[in-house]
Amino acid sequence: MPGDNPPCAGQAVSGGHNDSITGSAARGGSLLWRAGSRVGVLLASSALVGPLLGFTAHAQTHVAQKAGLSVSTVEVMQLAMFVGVMGAALLSAIFLIRERARTSAENAELRTRIADVNAALQRSEALLHSRDQRVVVWAAENKKPELVGTLPIESGAPEDRAAFLAFGRWLMPRSAAALEHAVAALRDKAKPFDLVIESQAGQPLEVHGRKSAAHVLVRFVSLSETQRSQARLKIENQRLAADHETLIGLLDALKMPSWLRTVDGRLKWVNRAYAEAVEAENAEAAVRDGKEFLGGQARDTIAAQHKSHPVFEQALSTVIEGDRRMFAVTDFAGADGSAGLACDISAIEAIRGEYERTVQS
């Protein structure tokens, strides 16, 4: 009818009321879409990203439907994948940042340790390269030894490596033999040692041998004047002890009775021939039981002679295994005791007596 407004009247000219509603709805849908996307990104940055991706996509689809927008399933899946990738990237970034911080802390600690080790190494090298000691280091069984440090020239030790390792060329024979034996025992049996040796220049040196898990070390140390005096006394004591052992071995091997006495006249040592002469089980038993080889009168004669003269030489008789025999006895008295030796001259005396009887007849 004329004058009635048709349902769509005015829309083609000005857009009308419906155009305004449609534009508002589109703007609202766009805002809701952005809000849903932000929610999806925030959810993807948490540990619940996987389970909530479907819910986010469904919410976005629902918002789009309310806004009157057409959203396909492919677009929803693409959006969900985008949100998931962004969330995974964010989590990876957080993990990498934490891992980098931990690695930086470990590197700082390692740098500190390396600095400490370098300082300790420098101190050790400074000590080893001092002029009062020299160290021989064997790193492996078949590897040539390494020499570190130097010794004073007055010590008599050569500077050349080969000459230094030839101990017999610059050490006294006794010291060289003892050192080579100790080094062999150290390398083969890991037996440590501490020696005082003497160079051919007359200078004493201390030698210490030790073995670690991977190295064998022999350290030669030059001594101060006080230490040198003590070392000389020690070397002299070693020499006297060796000489004493040699002489005792010789006397023990003789077939002539021999003995040592203390200042008060008690037996201190006897040889095997003495023990056999007094019918003792062994030399130690003869000393322990105080079994005398000579009679009391003969011992008194020797003691009386020692008051005026340190050496006694005379033929004395004693009973051995029930037979009286003659012995040429020599006894020397010193400040700390006496020593005696008896040689059986019974056969000689018998021949002399027979000769005298023959001459007289």
Residue 131 has a pLDDT of: 65
pTM of the model: 0.48
Residue-wise burial string across 8-27, b where 16 or more C-beta atoms lie within 10 A, e elsewhere:
eeeeeeeeeeeeeeeeeeee
Residue 268 zone, left/alpha/beta (φ > 0; ψ -120 to 50; rest): alpha
Class of CATH domain 254-360: alpha beta
What single DSSP character describes residue 155? Answer: G
Interhelix angle for 73-128 vs 49-66, to 10°? 150
261-266 contacts: CB < 8 A, separation 24 or more? Answer: 261/337, 261/338, 261/339, 261/340, 262/336, 262/337, 263/336, 263/337, 265/299, 265/303, 265/338, 266/290
Token digits of residue 251 = 């006397």
Question: Can you tell me the distance from the alpha carbon of 194 to that of 206, in angstroms, rounded to the nearest whole number?
Answer: 7
Compute the Cα dihedral for 275, 279, 285, 289 and give only its sign: negative
CATH of 133-242, one of 3.30.720, 3.30.70, 3.30.450, 1.10.10: 3.30.450
Per the CB < 8 A criterion, the answer to whether 150 and 131 are in contact is yes
Domain borders along the chain are 16-95, 133-242, 254-360
Average pLDDT for residues 179-184, to the nearest whole number?
94
Question: Can you tell me the distance from the alpha carbon of 50 to that of 52, in angstroms, rounded to the nearest whole number?
Answer: 6
Alpha carbon separation from 334 to 218, 264, 306, 337 (Å, rounded): 43, 12, 9, 5
Domain 254-360 in the same topology as domain 133-242? yes
How many CB atoms lie under 10 A from the CB of residue 316? 20
In this structure, of 55-59, 239-243, 339-343, the range with the lowest mean pLDDT score is: 55-59
pLDDT in tens, 291-327: 999 988 999 999 999 989 999 999 998 888 888 889 9
pLDDT in tens, 83-123: 889 989 999 999 999 999 999 999 999 998 998 888 887 77
**277 band by pLDDT with thresholds 50, 70 and 90:** very high
For residue 218, the one-letter residue type is: V
Token digits of residue 222 = 């030059």
How many CB atoms lie under 10 A from the CB of residue 94? 11
C-alpha closest to that of 286 among 296, 298, 271: 271
Residue 273 has a pLDDT of: 94
**39 band by pLDDT with thresholds 50, 70 and 90:** very low
Residue 65 has a pLDDT of: 52
Pairing between β-strand 258-261 and β-strand 267-270 as defined by DSSP bridges: antiparallel
Question: Can you tell me the distance from the alpha carbon of 209 to that of 167, in angstroms, rounded to the nearest whole number?
Answer: 15
Angle made by CA atoms 177, 181, 185, in degrees to the nearest 5? 170
**212 band by pLDDT with thresholds 50, 70 and 90:** confident
